[in-house]
A = this chain, B = another copy of it.
């Protein structure tokens, strides 16, 4: 029989210290007195926690505030530059590496093209990028405490990449390979999950605790946040909603299923249909940029196509809303750039298809541009650092 997680004084302290820290992080500059009022913790408790946080360099005293009719408060603020982490967005034809502080501010970034997708070559590139980022890290109390990597594929709970179709990778233990090379803890997650975390922490989904992030690129992946936590399923591979059947006898999909949503509503679907249009017929290099250009020029065929894609997106979102009843859905990745043309068809479809009892979900587009996944990845590294009691309580 295994030992169960029981309660002890350490647990109390961890909980309360974390509350104090979050208070300063979110509402700083703030005084000890105010924290006590806000949280219900006793002034003495707050003082104890704050002095520990000061010692750990996670919090600084920034000087005196304005008096409210008595002694001036000492204002505390969170030291965002105490800890750094690296976030990597491993795309199908690029690698983006960023260095972030605790606020999610990007301190350094580097983007590389990816041509050869051979695992060993990609891994070398990632390691080189990491070394580059490390050499650009400012002096700080803790330095770089972890690396998070978002990948376009199915990742199990141990961080192994089971299958990344667009990289043609199978069974790659990226985590181990990189940890061996750089000796910093590495976490691997699916790109939709990292994007979801990024948007929830720093983007359109701030402070939303029941949230779905729909990453529409070559395929469609989804990140699920339930009660504030990322849900990854029993074996880490939930959120494959791109493979929802929306046409029972529809096109055959690479995944084995038929009529998958992503066959009708993704970047691939858009490109495939675009190739059939007169405007693009000659243009073999037809890509998203030329579609945007034509849409901006008012090409009605193209606008009609985007309208149709938007409707298909709406059908899938209807399924998601009926399933999760979330507060918000965020649409991210490359299809989000067509926001102007797909917003209306999406809303129209939802209006048509949703039951009147389930229409409270807000639909947003990702607000972090191309950084959603990298930011979310770096946040995972931070969470792991703080979870592993490395700071709280000796």
Q: Mark A residues whose CB is within 8 Å of B.
A: 1, 3-4, 6-9, 11-16, 19, 37-41, 154, 162-163, 210, 222, 226-227, 231-241, 243-248, 255-259, 264, 312, 315, 318-319, 322-327, 352-358, 360-361
Contacts and interface: CB of A to CB of B under 8 A. Distances in A.
A360 B234 contact: yes
A319 B16 contact: no
Given A231-B226, A245-B246, A240 B355 contact: yes
Contacts of A245: 246, 315, 318-319, 353
Contacts of A12: 7-9, 11-12
20 contacts: A4-B19, A4-B39, A6-B39, A6-B40, A7-B11, A7-B16, A11-B11, A226-B231, A233-B326, A237-B358, A238-B325, A240-B323, A243-B355, A245-B246, A245-B319, A246-B247, A248-B312, A256-B355, A257-B318, A257-B322
Contact of A325 (B16, B236, B361): B236
A236 B323 CA distance: 11
Nearest to A1: B38
A319 B39 CA distance: 43
A257 B1 CA distance: 50
Given A237-B358, A244-B319, 12 more contacts: A1-B38, A6-B16, A6-B39, A12-B12, A237-B325, A239-B325, A240-B323, A240-B355, A241-B322, A244-B244, A245-B246, A255-B355
Contacts of A210: 233-234
In order of increasing CB-CB distance, the 10 nearest A-B pairs are A233-B325, A7-B15, A7-B12, A3-B40, A238-B325, A240-B322, A255-B355, A257-B353, A234-B327, A210-B234
A251 B39 CA distance: 53
Contact of A257 (B41, B255, B355): B355
A216 to B, nearest CB: 16
Contacts of A257: 318, 322, 353-355
Which among A19, A255, A259, A354 has the highest number of chain B CB atoms within 10 Å? A255
A257 B19 CA distance: 44
Contacts of A241: 322-323
Contacts of A40: 3-4, 6
A307 to B, nearest CB: 15
A312 to B, nearest CB: 8
A204 to B, nearest CB: 16
Contacts of A354: 255-257
A33 to B, nearest CB: 13
Contacts of A1: 37-38
Nearest to A319: B244
Contact of A357 (B4, B7, B154, B231): B154
Contacts of A325: 232-240
